[in-house]
Structure formats: structure tokens, C-alpha cells
Amino acid sequence: MKNIADTAYLVAMYRALESERADALFHDPYARLLAGGKGAMLVEVLGEKEKITNAIALRTRLIDEQIEKLVQSHEIDTVLNLAAGLDTRPYRLNLPGSLRWVEIDFADILAEKEQKLLQATPVCTLERVKLDITDISERKRLFAEITKNSKQALVITEGLLSYLPEPQVASIAADIYEQSNLNWWLFELESADTLQNYDKIYARKIFDQYFASGNKTLLFAPTEGTSFFKKYGWRVAESLYVWKELRRLKRQVKLAWLVEMLMKLNQTHCETQQQSSIVLLCKTGLLATS
């Protein structure tokens, strides 16, 4: 069985493909270098290249925008990127030099990343911590250290939560919340509809076969949507619907207008399940972003 961490090469290759478009939603000059031959191979194995590239491009662009906006408007001094993979935001975003950016992931992928980016210079202070984020004691120790040395921190779990069973997500939600300065949390939330229609999605079958010997890799897509996090003290500061944002960014997909119209007509269902979205949470004591 392949390691699910290898998806980092796959995602990097999608970022490279997007960056090479004339109408690219962002530019990542390091993506193809980091993806390497493994990333190129995985893209071909999975298929549906244009569709998945669009999805990864949208996720990347929306998270980019949220990070830059938060850092500028809420005096974020620390960003903690859990399961960072081959992300390059500390090198390519408009960030202040005083910002502390901490990447967390497995030792092998961080070592390879560091080697490939030796000639690149991050725009802010960058640290890398080799850690399995599912190790509860080590995770708590790390969170406590980040809290001690920051005033206002943003946690990012891009592409991580969907691979974790619900009890692990709940544990992470509680662990982040209990730290006084880890006040913001940004991630992608898969829709419950996706989980319910799992067996009909061809690309997911190929993905699961390659990375998990046919076992499901999508484990977290709560039926209650973002309400899942309320019991751990979190509130929604912003939730960006994938279909709506595709239209805003003029990256149209077939029948996107129809899907958006149906979502508006069925507002209760929409609010409950949230659909696939980029979610920004803040602690209940903080004001939501405008």
C-alpha cells in the first residue's frame, strides 16, 4: 500500500499545472520541482486531470486569500500549518517578514522539501517540525510551545481532516481550542453528500485503490457540516462555497449555475451540510471576520 502522504506530490503537480495556465488563479514557481516524476505519474494514474486541477486550484486560491486577509487584518504573528506537505505559501504569498510560519509533517517529506528548496528564500520566518500530527502527546506539546511563543496564531489543516476518522478530528479540535493563542483555524470541509455518493465517484475509486488498497480514504464529512465544531468551542467566521467561488473567479464548470440555484432553493439543506467549502473558524470569544 502506498503512503497517503504521497498525495503531497499529487497536489504539488496539480498546482504546477494550474500555474502554467494563462488564466492561472495563482502562481507557484516551485510546484513542478517539488512534484517531480512521482507527482506527474500520479496525475496520470488518477485521471480526470482538468476537473481535479480546477478543484485543487480553487482550494489553493481561497486559502491563499484567507491567509493574506487574516494576517493583515487580525495581527496574526504565527501560522501553524499541520500536514504541510509540499506547500510553498511561505515563499510565494504576500506576508510580512516578521511572521513566524511553522510547517508540521513527516520527517521524510520535510527533508526532501528542504533539500529541493535550498536555493529559495522564504518571505517570512520559516520553521519545520518533523511530527506525526496524530501523536496526541507530541501534538499537545507542540501546540503548547506555539502558544507560549505567539500572541495570535492561525492553524491550517488544508487537505488533512477528510483523511481522519471523526474522533481524531474531534480530538484535534479540542486540542487547538484549549491553547489560548491558537484563535483561528482554516481548512477544507468535504460535504456529506460527497461521502454519501462516494461509490459513484470514479476518481475516488482509483485514488483509494492506489493509496489505500481499495479502502475508503474519505473518512470525515459530517452530516451537520460546520456545526460539528460548535461543541468544541468554535464558531464560523467564514464559509466559502465551492460552486459560488468557482463562478466568482470565472473558473466555470459544467452546470455550475444550476447547482448554485438548487442550493439557494434548498437553503436548509445547504446550511446543514455546507456543501464542499473552505471554512474559517474562530473561538467563540472573538469577532467574526467581515
Which residue type is seen at 90?
P
The ranges of the chain with pLDDT < 50 are 1, 255-263, 265-274, 288-290
- HSE-up of residue 207 (Cα within 13 Å, Cβ side): 21
Write down the CATH number for the domain with range 56-283: 3.40.50.150
**Is residue 66 left, alpha or beta, with left meaning phi > 0 and alpha meaning psi from -120 to 50?**
alpha
Query: Rounded CA gap, 286 and 252, in Å?
Result: 35
pLDDT tens readout for residues 34-93: 999 999 999 998 888 888 898 899 999 999 999 999 998 888 999 999 999 999 999 999
> pTM above the 0.75 mark?
yes
Cβ-contact 277, 240 below 8 angstroms: yes
In which residue are the cell numbers 500520479 written?
Answer: 42
Which sequence spans correspond to the domains of the chain? 56-283
CA distances from 76 to 60, 102, 151, 181, 250 (A): 20, 13, 8, 10, 30
Query: Rounded CA gap, 111 and 59, in Å?
Result: 25
pLDDT at 202: 52
Cβ-contact 171, 141 below 8 angstroms: no
